Structure 1
């Protein structure tokens, strides 16, 4: 008696692993604008990718301030902000009123990403102007992605725009800000993390053809998986034959070979020699 075929649970496990690999592949190919500090944009044949929070040899926290915040003071107003995270104050915390929506009076500034203090009637009054969950990234110059990006954060009524300008050699922290309207602030930070990584969209990396191939592969794997589960549990087929259309898949390599490698055969013709006999000629 021939040994029984492989049990289906092992095959199901292999198919599930294939499905997980396909999911990871689709995640990679579909990546565009990722987390709050990740951004990708294509220009021509180049794909430019930014990751402000990624560590570098010289800056282990990326664009994040190692103090836990950036601070800019202009006249009687003080602006605090942090990129890619909420602020953290181990020293010099904000001392202002109306800080309930950003940590409260005891932990003012620790539950938002941007805060401004203005002196009103002799009192420092705080206003939350940006949160980590409400942010948007765009290019500083649409025609030149290498110049840097703008991180804009929002609160219920206010906003802050931080232009992260590409400077691969040094950091220039903000020393001023601009107020437009009633509560929209803007400032500039020069940092190596504002410089993008670029790859050729047509050369390396994942193109549309690779994405299409992975999509088809995943759909095919899903078809085989669903069919195998149905035949295993509902038709009671507990061997490798539970895979739907098994004969087709077994013969597929030969079918492909037949299509792309046409069969060759010797062609024989006959010619008459000088003695009047017919001799076969192979060519």
Structure 2
């Protein structure tokens, strides 16, 4: 029971720290840990935690996700910076994300647009500027949205990646939306987008209610077993078939007497009652 109490205390402490708002600001190491409270349910998203068949959580094992639409190509990584062991970005003006020799290695999102026949890169996501939110507060099981941004002398850029809950597998980004001069949005499906739900307050009966139910069940079993035994083996009929009938009949009277005794004990002697030290007039 002490362990259960400790767990509930920890959950309440977590709620106080993490669920005062639906939005969580974080560094790269904690960017994909998001928790919020809705009623008596605590929704916990840990996108970077290992899960079955995905030891790296939502992180791409290639080191990055990539999606291309028309003349625009987007590279990004969730929960960490990008790593390019193959197929690195080849575009000009990559100074805000690693420079020509390490293009894409110093940010978490990079976009390349074809401008005048040249692919020009722009960093649109950096680790410290990450915001995590639930997609639909009325339906938290939909998933979360990870927003990252980057500011430079030329642009204020951002990327919003919707991570939809999908227990059946992974579907990488296939579409890319441009919402402004340097604002982009895409979506993907992943089991890591599914929340772990914890009942904080607990709608159960608790240990005392459970104990009462167990005692009641044992009493019913005892009563039924006694009735069956007396009816079939002892051939007793009528109300006498109930085991220990005299005890059950006398139980209300004994309970009343016990309650009266307790009342007299705590109330003290009534008015006019003589103690052993009361004077006696002859």
| TM class by smaller structure | 0.5 to 0.7
- How much does 1:266 deviate? 11
Counterpart in the other structure of 2:194? 195
Match of 1:101, SS state, is: helix
Consecutive unaligned residues in structure 1, runs of 5 or more = 1-23, 205-263, 273-277, 279-283
Task: Tell me, in whole angstroms, the C-alpha distance in 2 between the residues paired with 1:134 and 1:127.
Answer: 16
- By relative contact order (CA 8 Å, sep 6+), the higher-ranking structure is 1
Match of 2:85, SS state, is: coil
Counterpart in the other structure of 2:149? 154
- How much does 1:31 deviate? 3.6
Match of 2:163, SS state, is: strand
Question: Taking structure 1 as reference, are residues 267 and 138 closer, same or farther at Cα in structure 2, changes over 3 Å only?
Answer: closer
Counterpart in the other structure of 1:71? 66
Counterpart in the other structure of 2:167? 168
- How many residue pairs align between the two structures? 192
- Deviations 1:224-250 (Å, cap 9, x if unpaired)? xxxxxxxxxxxxxxxxxxxxxxxxxxx
Task: Tell me, in whole angstroms, the C-alpha distance in 2 between the residues paired with 1:25 and 1:193.
Answer: 21
Counterpart in the other structure of 1:181? 180
Select 1:51's aligned residue among 46, 53, 61: 46
Task: Tell me, in whole angstroms, the C-alpha distance in 2 between the residues paired with 1:265 and 1:41.
Answer: 50
- How much does 1:198 deviate? 0.6
Match of 2:192, SS state, is: helix
Select 1:113's aligned residue among 108, 113, 131: 108
Larger Rg: 2
- How much does 1:102 deviate? 0.6
- Deviations 1:66-97 (Å, cap 9, x if unpaired)? 00000001112110000000100000100111
Alignment of 1:1-283 (within 5 A): 28=14, 30-32=16-18, 33=24, 35-156=30-151, 157-203=156-202
Normalised by the length of structure 2, the TM-score is 0.63
Question: Taking structure 1 as reference, are residues 66 and 267 closer, same or farther at Cα in structure 2, changes over 3 Å only?
Answer: same
Normalised by the length of structure 1, the TM-score is 0.63
- Deviations 1:4-34 (Å, cap 9, x if unpaired)? xxxxxxxxxxxxxxxxxxxx99974644146
- Deviations 1:48-81 (Å, cap 9, x if unpaired)? 1111101112101101100000000111211000
Task: Tell me, in whole angstroms, the C-alpha distance in 2 between the residues paired with 1:270 and 1:30.
Answer: 61
Match of 1:162, SS state, is: strand
Task: Tell me, in whole angstroms, the C-alpha distance in 1 between the residues paired with 2:275 and 2:46.
Answer: 76
Question: Taking structure 1 as reference, are residues 122 and 266 closer, same or farther at Cα in structure 2, changes over 3 Å only?
Answer: closer
Match of 2:102, SS state, is: coil
Question: Taking structure 1 as reference, are residues 66 and 30 closer, same or farther at Cα in structure 2, changes over 3 Å only?
Answer: same
- Deviations 1:179-203 (Å, cap 9, x if unpaired)? 0111110000100000001111212
Task: Tell me, in whole angstroms, the C-alpha distance in 2 between the residues paired with 1:84 and 1:197.
Answer: 18
